[in-house]
Amino acid sequence: MRKLLPVLLVLIGLSAGGGAGYIFRPQPAAESDPRIICPPTDATRAQMPPQESEVADHETEFVKLNNQFVVPVVEDGTVAAMVILSLSLEVPKGEGPKVFEREPKLRDALLQTLFNHANAGGFKGSFTDPLAMEALRTALLETARSVMGAAVGSILITDIVRQDA
Protein backbone atom coordinates (compact mmCIF):
# COMPACT_ATOMS: atom_id res chain seq x y z
CA MET A 1 0.00 0.00 0.00
CA ARG A 2 2.88 2.40 0.77
CA LYS A 3 4.34 1.89 -2.71
CA LEU A 4 1.00 2.15 -4.46
CA LEU A 5 0.02 5.54 -2.99
CA PRO A 6 2.94 7.58 -4.52
CA VAL A 7 2.38 5.98 -7.93
CA LEU A 8 -1.34 6.75 -7.72
CA LEU A 9 -0.63 10.41 -6.75
CA VAL A 10 1.79 10.79 -9.68
CA LEU A 11 -0.78 9.40 -12.12
CA ILE A 12 -3.50 11.69 -10.78
CA GLY A 13 -1.17 14.71 -11.01
CA LEU A 14 -0.13 13.90 -14.57
CA SER A 15 -3.69 13.39 -15.74
CA ALA A 16 -4.85 16.61 -14.04
CA GLY A 17 -1.98 18.57 -15.63
CA GLY A 18 -2.65 17.05 -19.05
CA GLY A 19 -6.36 17.84 -18.75
CA ALA A 20 -5.64 21.44 -17.76
CA GLY A 21 -3.20 21.80 -20.66
CA TYR A 22 -5.80 20.46 -23.08
CA ILE A 23 -8.52 22.78 -21.77
CA PHE A 24 -6.34 25.92 -21.76
CA ARG A 25 -4.50 25.28 -25.04
CA PRO A 26 -4.27 28.27 -27.43
CA GLN A 27 -6.90 28.31 -30.13
CA PRO A 28 -6.11 28.84 -33.82
CA ALA A 29 -5.93 32.49 -34.88
CA ALA A 30 -9.28 32.52 -36.71
CA GLU A 31 -11.12 31.22 -33.64
CA SER A 32 -9.23 33.24 -31.04
CA ASP A 33 -10.84 36.59 -31.89
CA PRO A 34 -14.45 36.43 -30.69
CA ARG A 35 -15.32 39.62 -32.60
CA ILE A 36 -14.82 37.90 -35.97
CA ILE A 37 -17.98 36.01 -36.78
CA CYS A 38 -17.48 35.74 -40.51
CA PRO A 39 -14.85 37.06 -42.91
CA PRO A 40 -15.46 40.64 -44.08
CA THR A 41 -17.09 41.17 -47.46
CA ASP A 42 -16.12 43.87 -49.94
CA ALA A 43 -18.93 46.11 -48.66
CA THR A 44 -17.83 45.85 -45.02
CA ARG A 45 -14.15 46.10 -45.96
CA ALA A 46 -14.85 49.51 -47.58
CA GLN A 47 -16.31 50.77 -44.28
CA MET A 48 -13.37 49.56 -42.19
CA PRO A 49 -10.42 51.91 -41.53
CA PRO A 50 -7.26 50.91 -43.41
CA GLN A 51 -4.83 48.71 -41.54
CA GLU A 52 -1.32 50.05 -40.94
CA SER A 53 0.11 47.63 -43.51
CA GLU A 54 -2.33 48.96 -46.14
CA VAL A 55 -1.15 52.57 -45.74
CA ALA A 56 2.07 53.25 -47.62
CA ASP A 57 4.83 55.04 -45.73
CA HIS A 58 4.94 57.89 -48.25
CA GLU A 59 1.32 58.76 -47.54
CA THR A 60 1.92 59.62 -43.88
CA GLU A 61 4.17 61.89 -41.90
CA PHE A 62 5.27 61.93 -38.30
CA VAL A 63 4.61 65.10 -36.33
CA LYS A 64 6.74 65.48 -33.21
CA LEU A 65 5.00 67.46 -30.49
CA ASN A 66 7.12 70.44 -29.52
CA ASN A 67 7.65 69.90 -25.80
CA GLN A 68 8.11 66.84 -23.65
CA PHE A 69 5.42 65.63 -21.27
CA VAL A 70 6.38 65.60 -17.57
CA VAL A 71 4.24 63.28 -15.43
CA PRO A 72 4.65 63.01 -11.64
CA VAL A 73 4.27 59.57 -10.07
CA VAL A 74 2.62 60.11 -6.69
CA GLU A 75 2.87 57.51 -3.92
CA ASP A 76 1.48 58.09 -0.42
CA GLY A 77 0.83 61.75 -1.14
CA THR A 78 4.39 62.57 -2.23
CA VAL A 79 6.07 62.64 -5.62
CA ALA A 80 8.04 59.39 -5.84
CA ALA A 81 9.26 59.83 -9.42
CA MET A 82 8.95 61.90 -12.57
CA VAL A 83 8.33 60.37 -15.99
CA ILE A 84 9.33 62.39 -19.04
CA LEU A 85 7.98 61.42 -22.47
CA SER A 86 8.33 62.67 -26.02
CA LEU A 87 5.48 61.85 -28.38
CA SER A 88 4.97 61.92 -32.13
CA LEU A 89 1.77 61.43 -34.11
CA GLU A 90 1.45 59.64 -37.43
CA VAL A 91 -0.92 61.61 -39.66
CA PRO A 92 -1.62 61.75 -43.40
CA LYS A 93 0.81 63.87 -45.39
CA GLY A 94 -0.15 67.54 -45.18
CA GLU A 95 -2.02 67.22 -41.85
CA GLY A 96 0.98 68.42 -39.79
CA PRO A 97 -0.15 72.08 -39.63
CA LYS A 98 -3.56 70.97 -38.33
CA VAL A 99 -1.84 69.12 -35.49
CA PHE A 100 0.07 72.24 -34.49
CA GLU A 101 -3.10 74.35 -34.67
CA ARG A 102 -4.81 72.01 -32.18
CA GLU A 103 -1.68 71.31 -30.11
CA PRO A 104 -2.75 73.09 -26.89
CA LYS A 105 -5.98 71.09 -26.66
CA LEU A 106 -4.20 67.92 -27.79
CA ARG A 107 -1.45 68.34 -25.18
CA ASP A 108 -4.03 68.91 -22.46
CA ALA A 109 -5.94 65.75 -23.36
CA LEU A 110 -2.77 63.65 -23.71
CA LEU A 111 -1.43 64.96 -20.39
CA GLN A 112 -4.68 64.03 -18.65
CA THR A 113 -4.41 60.52 -20.10
CA LEU A 114 -0.82 60.27 -18.88
CA PHE A 115 -1.88 61.43 -15.39
CA ASN A 116 -4.62 58.79 -15.36
CA HIS A 117 -2.08 56.15 -16.41
CA ALA A 118 0.30 57.23 -13.65
CA ASN A 119 -2.47 57.26 -11.02
CA ALA A 120 -3.47 53.73 -12.05
CA GLY A 121 0.09 52.57 -11.37
CA GLY A 122 1.14 52.39 -15.01
CA PHE A 123 4.60 53.86 -14.37
CA LYS A 124 5.46 51.64 -11.39
CA GLY A 125 7.69 48.61 -11.62
CA SER A 126 8.45 47.37 -15.12
CA PHE A 127 6.60 50.15 -16.91
CA THR A 128 8.38 49.49 -20.23
CA ASP A 129 6.93 45.97 -20.44
CA PRO A 130 5.42 45.50 -23.93
CA LEU A 131 1.90 44.99 -22.57
CA ALA A 132 2.09 48.12 -20.41
CA MET A 133 3.46 50.17 -23.30
CA GLU A 134 0.75 48.88 -25.64
CA ALA A 135 -1.95 49.84 -23.12
CA LEU A 136 -0.43 53.33 -22.85
CA ARG A 137 -0.19 53.73 -26.64
CA THR A 138 -3.80 52.60 -27.07
CA ALA A 139 -5.05 55.08 -24.46
CA LEU A 140 -3.01 57.89 -26.02
CA LEU A 141 -4.24 57.01 -29.51
CA GLU A 142 -7.88 57.07 -28.40
CA THR A 143 -7.30 60.45 -26.78
CA ALA A 144 -5.55 61.88 -29.84
CA ARG A 145 -8.36 60.65 -32.08
CA SER A 146 -10.95 62.26 -29.80
CA VAL A 147 -9.26 65.63 -30.38
CA MET A 148 -7.93 65.29 -33.95
CA GLY A 149 -10.37 62.79 -35.45
CA ALA A 150 -9.50 59.62 -37.32
CA ALA A 151 -6.57 61.34 -39.06
CA VAL A 152 -4.20 60.13 -36.33
CA GLY A 153 -2.88 56.75 -37.42
CA SER A 154 -0.69 55.92 -34.45
CA ILE A 155 1.18 57.34 -31.48
CA LEU A 156 4.92 56.96 -31.21
CA ILE A 157 6.62 57.21 -27.83
CA THR A 158 10.01 58.40 -29.00
CA ASP A 159 11.58 58.94 -25.55
CA ILE A 160 10.60 57.81 -22.08
CA VAL A 161 12.58 58.34 -18.89
CA ARG A 162 11.70 57.74 -15.26
CA GLN A 163 13.65 59.63 -12.59
CA ASP A 164 13.01 58.39 -9.05
CA ALA A 165 13.03 60.99 -6.31
Return the pLDDT at 144: 93
What letter would DSSP give residue 52?
Answer: G
- DSSP letters, 28-79, are PHHHH-TT-SS---HHHHHHSPPPGGGS-GGGEEEEE-SS-EEEEEEETTEE
Residues 87 and 65: beta-carbon distance below 8 Å: yes
Taking Cα atoms as reference points, which of 123, 162, 126 lies closest to residue 139? 123
DSSP conformation class of 150:
T
Q: Are 114 and 162 in contact (CB under 8 A)?
A: no
Q: Is the pLDDT of residue 32 over 50?
A: no
**Among 155, 85, 72, residue whose Cα is nearest residue 118:** 72
Domain ranges of the chain: 4-47, 52-164
- Kindly report which listed range (5-9, 38-42, 75-79, 90-94) carries the lowest average pLDDT score: 38-42
pLDDT for 105: 94
Provide, rounded to the nearest whole percent, the portion of the chain with pLDDT above 70: 81
Band of pLDDT at residue 58, cut at 50, 70 and 90 = low
Q: What is the DSSP letter of 84?
A: E
pLDDT at position 38 is 52
- 124-147 pLDDT per residue, tens: 888 888 888 999 999 999 999 999
Topology, domain 52-164: Tetrahydropterin Synthase; Chain A (3.30.479)
* pLDDT score at 52: 53
Q: What is the mean pLDDT of residues 74-85?
A: 90
In this predicted structure, the answer to whether residue 150 has a pLDDT above a threshold of 50 is: yes
Phi-psi region of 94 (alpha: psi -120 to 50; beta: other; left: phi over 0): left
β-strand 78-92 against 69-75: which pairing, if any? Answer: antiparallel
Model confidence at 62, pLDDT cuts 50, 70, 90, reads very high
Percent share of the chain, pLDDT over 90: 42
